[in-house]
């Protein structure tokens, strides 16, 4: 069998997640290669291109020239949330495949614009949820699917950490126009997507309460939020996200026959433990740290080469945004609100 040519990527947006995780992942990738980077400043673009071996670098003002580069086949969008849609649409219109960081966009309509643009040019669109390819998360999903836990009744989840307002790169997270929200859109989205992915079900109602202890820095976005989701068949979800607590990430799934917990659940730089108790018997498995971003890059590259739609695709990203918008409505109104169905009619 002929070895497939690696897919050439450009990374757009060179903030902390790009520097610490996305760019280094190309060194471990089997099917993807870094050919270019794009940043807001020429100095940063040049420096990181040299550090990670990209042959070309551009500023945001040169984005069209980047998209015209014949080596660029796929675009990894890792900018602030508000610019995901415009950068993705322009990439699709130039015939480039799009891998976009979560959240997909700040509104459902922006998500639809991205889906339409990619569909019209017949390019692939994937949203960067690492857990779809990570062994511990897959083990939990397989356990749920096996039925060994029985009918699912309750799920608890959280993702919290301390965001230092003065830290480099933190500013746009505190600006609602650039971010679309606070702790919910940055880390709470992991809880939302994980539950939808694990269960294969869509929530029908949401309730929430948000608060900010540090009003000086968190006046425009919420510092913390607790939310509840009702699913069909009597499944109830309780989740929390915060920029003002110790780092913690977990998923606790409780069924009629047993329970299972993944802790840590969402961090990419810690060993993971999957443990629980099923019909009176304890179990525990450990999963070493691996490069989840490389798995993600390779999965999308494989879809491109094989001409297949990726998972998670744009519709998964859109549904997460719809759920988060309902959570914010519930927090503002102080009561349960329905979650509108987001069908494939875009």
How do residues 23-32 score in pLDDT, each as one tens digit?
Answer: 999 999 999 9
172 and 111, same structural domain? Answer: no
Specify the pLDDT at position 30: 97
Residue 233 backbone class (left: φ over 0; alpha: ψ -120 to 50; beta: rest): left
Alpha-carbon distance of 142 to 40, in angstroms, equals 42
pLDDT of residue 116 exceeding 50, the answer is: yes
Q: Which residue has the higher pLDDT, 315 or 4?
A: 315
Which of 58-72, 164-178, 199-213, 219-233 shows the lowest mean pLDDT across its residues? 164-178
94 and 22, same structural domain? Answer: yes
In a domain, 346, yes or no: no
CATH of the domain at 247: 3.30.360.10
pLDDT of residue 346 exceeding 60, the answer is: no
pLDDT of residue 17 exceeding 50, the answer is: yes
Specify the pLDDT at position 124: 98
Looking at residues 11-17, what average pLDDT do you find?
Answer: 96
In a domain, 65, yes or no: yes
The residue whose two tokens read 């798995």 is 295
In a domain, 338, yes or no: no
pLDDT of residue 239 exceeding 80, the answer is: yes
91 and 202, same structural domain? Answer: no
299 and 224, same structural domain? Answer: no
255 and 140, same structural domain? Answer: yes
Specify the pLDDT at position 170: 73
Specify the pLDDT at position 36: 98
The residue whose two tokens read 């390819």 is 133
In a domain, 342, yes or no: no
pLDDT category, 340, cuts 50, 70, 90? confident
248 and 217, same structural domain? Answer: yes
What tokens does 305 get? Answer: 């080469």
What predicted TM-score, i.e. pTM, was given to this entire model?
Answer: 0.95
Looking at residues 63-76, what average pLDDT do you find?
Answer: 98
Summary mean pLDDT of the chain: 96
51 and 32, same structural domain? Answer: yes
170 and 105, same structural domain? Answer: no
Q: Determine what percent of the chain is predicted with pLDDT higher than 90.
A: 95
Specify the pLDDT at position 1: 34
Per residue in 36-61, pLDDT (tens digit) is 999 999 999 999 999 999 999 999 99
What tokens does 304 get? Answer: 């491109």
Alpha-carbon distance of 301 to 307, in angstroms, equals 10
Q: How many domains does the chain have?
A: 2
In a domain, 344, yes or no: no
48 and 27, same structural domain? Answer: yes
pLDDT of residue 82 exceeding 90, the answer is: yes
CATH of the domain at 111: 3.40.50.720
Specify the pLDDT at position 343: 52
Specify the pLDDT at position 249: 97
Q: Which residues contact 305 (CB under 8 A, 6 or more apart)?
A: 4, 5, 7, 31
In a domain, 139, yes or no: yes
233 and 105, same structural domain? Answer: no
In a domain, 50, yes or no: yes
75 and 157, same structural domain? Answer: no
Per residue in 89-109, pLDDT (tens digit) is 999 999 999 999 999 999 999
Task: Classify 259 as helix, strand or coil.
Answer: strand
Specify the pLDDT at position 237: 98
In a domain, 337, yes or no: no
User: DSSP E strands: which ranges in the chain?
Assistant: 7-12, 32-39, 56-59, 74-77, 97-100, 125-127, 152-162, 205-211, 224-231, 235-242, 244-255, 258-263, 272-278, 281-287, 337-338
Alpha-carbon distance of 18 to 325, in angstroms, equals 26
Q: Which residue has the higher pLDDT, 313 or 346?
A: 313
Q: Which residue has the higher pLDDT, 85 or 340?
A: 85
**302-328 as b/e: b if 16+ CB within 10 A:** bbbeeeeebebbbbbbbbbbbbbbbbb
pLDDT category, 3, cuts 50, 70, 90? low
Per residue in 140-191, pLDDT (tens digit) is 999 999 999 999 999 999 999 999 887 766 789 999 999 999 999 999 999 9
285 and 302, same structural domain? Answer: no
Provide Rg for the chain, Cα atoms.
Answer: 20
Q: Which residue has the higher pLDDT, 166 or 267?
A: 267
| Domain span including residue 306 | 7-130+294-312
């Amino acid at each position: 069998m002929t070895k497939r040519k690696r897919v050439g990527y450009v990374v757009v947006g060179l903030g902390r997640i790009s520097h610490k995780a996305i760019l280094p992942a190309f060194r471990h990738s089997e099917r993807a290669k870094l050919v270019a980077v794009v940043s807001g400043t020429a100095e940063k673009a040049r420096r990181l291109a040299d550090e990670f071996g990209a042959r070309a670098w551009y500023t945001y003002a040169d984005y069209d020239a980047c998209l015209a580069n014949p080596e660029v086949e796929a675009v990894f969008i890792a900018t602030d949330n508000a610019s995901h849609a415009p950068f993705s649409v322009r990439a699709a219109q130039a015939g480039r495949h799009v891998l976009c960081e979560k959240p997909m966009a700040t509104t459902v309509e922006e998500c639809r614009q991205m889906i339409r643009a990619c569909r019209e040019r017949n390019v692939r669109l994937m949203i960067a949820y690492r857990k779809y390819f990570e062994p511990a998360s897959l083990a939990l999903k397989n356990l749920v699917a096996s039925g060994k836990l029985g009918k699912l009744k309750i799920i608890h989840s959280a993702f919290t950490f301390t965001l230092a307002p003065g830290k480099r790169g933190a500013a746009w997270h505190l600006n609602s126009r650039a971010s679309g929200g606070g702790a919910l859109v940055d880390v709470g989205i992991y809880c939302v997507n994980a539950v939808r992915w694990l269960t294969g079900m869509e929530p029908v109602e949401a309730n929430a309460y948000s608060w900010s202890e540090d009003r000086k820095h968190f006046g425009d976005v919420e510092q913390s939020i607790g939310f509840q989701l009702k699913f069909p068949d009597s499944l109830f979800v309780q989740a929390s996200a915060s920029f003002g607590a110790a780092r913690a990430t977990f998923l606790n799934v409780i069924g009629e026959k047993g329970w299972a917990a993944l802790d840590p659940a969402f961090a990419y730089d810690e060993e993971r433990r999957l443990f629980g108790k099923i019909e009176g018997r304890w179990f525990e498995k450990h999963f070493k740290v691996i490069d989840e971003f490389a798995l993600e890059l390779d999965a999308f590259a494989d879809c491109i080469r094989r001409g297949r739609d990726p998972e998670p695709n744009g519709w998964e990203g859109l549904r997460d945004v719809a759920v988060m918008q309902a959570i914010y409505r519930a927090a503002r109104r102080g009561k349960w609100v329905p979650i509108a169905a987001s069908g494939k009619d875009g």
